Amino acid sequence: MSLNLTSYKRIQTNLFVKVVVPGYQTLTFSDYHKSYTINSTSYTGVGELLSVSNSTSSLRATPEELSISISGIPTGNVSDFVDQKVRGSAVDVHRGFFDATTGELLAISGNPATKFTGVVNNFTVTDDMNDNGQGTLTITFTCTSIIDQLNNKISGRATNPVDQKELYPNDQSMDRVPALAKSNFNFGAPN
């Protein structure tokens, strides 16, 4: 869906990031200068402390990676966060279009627009010390798009007794597979 922004003279865009960490909490933050609620979800405004890498725009869905960095995080919050299963967490990034004069979200269909949907592939925590001995912690999420996940999906299952017993403990249909695996069958060949 395309947004018609031709009637606006001054607009600003801001990114809204949502990371759902299973068993922990949903993290919501934006590069907006204050906290903002969109569709009953409150996003903490971290301003310039949020950095999102560039992404490409194309007419068709393509595999893509995105890096999201948040800096200025208190040490106590990071130690609690690192113990969670962050890899595989769902990530959504939306771009909101605002009236630069009023600072309000434009009331047009499709706003905010989806920029990225995927999962956290990995994350890193870095600690930078300045000359005064004060540290700044930064968490960087490396995210993979849903399209890339679908391209890497492995379907089916192994046909061996071990895997069969995991799914069906009393089934014996795969018990002879190892013995037959290296057999040579000459179907229809003369004796």
For the ranges 45-59, 85-99, 135-149, the lowest mean pLDDT is seen at 45-59
Q: How far apart are CA 79 and CA 75, in angstroms?
A: 6
How high is the pLDDT of residue 57? 66
Which token pair is 97?
């279009």
Q: Please tell me the predicted confidence (pLDDT) of residue 39.
A: 87
Tens of pLDDT, residues 27-86: 999 999 889 998 899 999 988 888 887 776 665 666 688 899 988 877 767 777 778 888
- Concatenated DSSP letters of 137-151: EEEEEEEEEHHHHHH
What is the average per-residue pLDDT within 136-164? 81
Q: In the prediction, which pLDDT does 61 show?
A: 64
Segment holding 78, helix H or strand E:
helix 75-82
pLDDT on residue 59: 57
Give the pLDDT confidence score for residue 60 in this predicted structure. Answer: 63
pTM of the model: 0.70
Instruction: Answer yes or no: is pLDDT of 172 > 80.
Output: yes
pLDDT digits 0-9 by tens, 101-139: 888 888 888 889 888 899 999 998 888 777 777 777 889
Question: Largest alpha-carbon pair distance within the chain?
Answer: 90
Distance CA 113, CA 15 (A): 10
The answer to whether 14 and 30 are in contact (CB under 8 A) is yes
**Bridge partner list, 117:** 92
| Mean pLDDT across the chain | 84
Q: Among candidates 4, 3, 11, 1, which has minimal Cα distance to 101?
A: 11
Per this entry, what is the length of the chain? Answer: 191
In Å, what is the CA distance from 114 to each residue of 125, 156, 166? 27, 32, 40
Two structure tokens written together for 17: 């990031």
What would the mean pLDDT of 169-188 be, rounded to a whole number? 84
